[in-house]
A and B are shown apart, each in its own frame.
Chain A
Amino acid sequence: GAGVSQSPSNKVTEKGKDVELRCDPISGHTALYWYRQSLGQGLEFLIYFQGNSAPDKSGLPSDRFSAERTGGSVSTLTIQRTQQEDSAVYLCASSLDDPEGFSFGPGTRLTVL
């Protein structure tokens, strides 16, 4: 079946602009995660959605970052007033809330000029 997809694959934006990154999880996966991968760093947890429960936003680095998940499926990560330090690869993952069943998307590389 289809895996996790993300769009766009690459995004170049100017400092101060807003960007939206999209994630389409595997159909039926109830859990969805966003991670940020900065150069030379591991994966930094950003946010977690599980079904219809309130999301865990504890990893969002600032109030410029927000995310939503519509209908328990597609998720959008929005970064407002982008800064150069926001440049990174943003990875989305989904699972059946099974610790062994994470599936990752190919990521969106964000470059803020």
Chain B
Amino acid sequence: AQTVTQSQPEMSVQEAETVTLSCTYDTSESNYYLFWYKQPPSRQMILVIRQEAYKQQNATENRFSVNFQKAAKSFSLKISDSQLGDTAMYFCAFITNSGYALNFGKGTSLLVTP
């Protein structure tokens, strides 16, 4: 089975602080892609960051970075200098090279407070 676990249903962080969202996944395949999506109240799913499993270097996009631990099947998202606009649901997802559908976790609701 291919599963994604996000163990933090809700998190809160103060503006300008740093927060880390956790994600673990399970797959027997070795080639896959990992993603973090953001879903604000508008419902629009927005790609935040992606990581190819064959790359050892952790992906970074401005204030967003990941800690990818392939052996542990862990893919956490770090948001630095949190902004009010970061308030949203965050979903961890992956897709294998042999598959065609994204597998999603249940999401983490992040609230950024002033």
**Could you list which residues of chain A lie within 8 angstroms of chain B, going by C-beta atoms?**
31, 33, 35, 40-43, 45, 48, 50, 56, 59, 89, 91, 93, 97, 99-100, 102, 104, 106-107, 109
Closest CB-CB distance, A98 to chain B, in whole Å? Answer: 10
Closest to B42 in A: A106
B102's contact among A43, A50, A89, A107, by CB below 8 Å, is which?
Answer: A43
Question: Are A41 and B106 in contact (CB-based, < 8 A)?
Answer: yes
Majority SS of interface residues in chain A?
strand
B105 and A102 within 8 A (CB): no
In the assembled complex, B45 has its CB within 8 A of some CB on chain A: yes
Residues in chain B within 8 A of chain A (CB atoms): 4, 6, 9, 33, 37, 42-45, 47, 50, 91, 93, 95, 97, 100-107
Q: Which A residue's beta carbon lies closest to that of B52?
A: A100
Given contacts A48-B101, A99-B33, contact A40 B43 (CB under 8 A): no
Instruction: Give chain A residues whose Cβ lies under 8 Å from the Cβ of B45.
Output: 91, 93, 104
Q: Is the CB of B106 within 8 A of A100?
A: no
CA distance A111 to B103 in the complex (A): 25
Nearest A residue (CB) for B109:
A40
* A20 to B104 CA separation, bound complex (whole angstroms): 25
Residues of chain B within 8 A (CB-CB) of A106 are 42-44
What is the CA–CA distance of A107 and B103 in the complex, to the nearest angstrom?
A: 18
- Which residue of A has the minimal Cβ distance to B107? A42
Chain B residues with CB under 8 Å of A41's CB are 106
| Chain A residues within 8 Å of B47, by CB | 102
Can you identify 21 A-B contacts, CB atoms within 8 angstroms? Answer: A31-B100, A35-B104, A40-B9, A40-B106, A42-B91, A42-B107, A43-B93, A43-B102, A43-B104, A45-B102, A56-B101, A59-B101, A89-B43, A91-B45, A97-B100, A99-B97, A100-B50, A102-B47, A106-B43, A107-B44, A109-B43
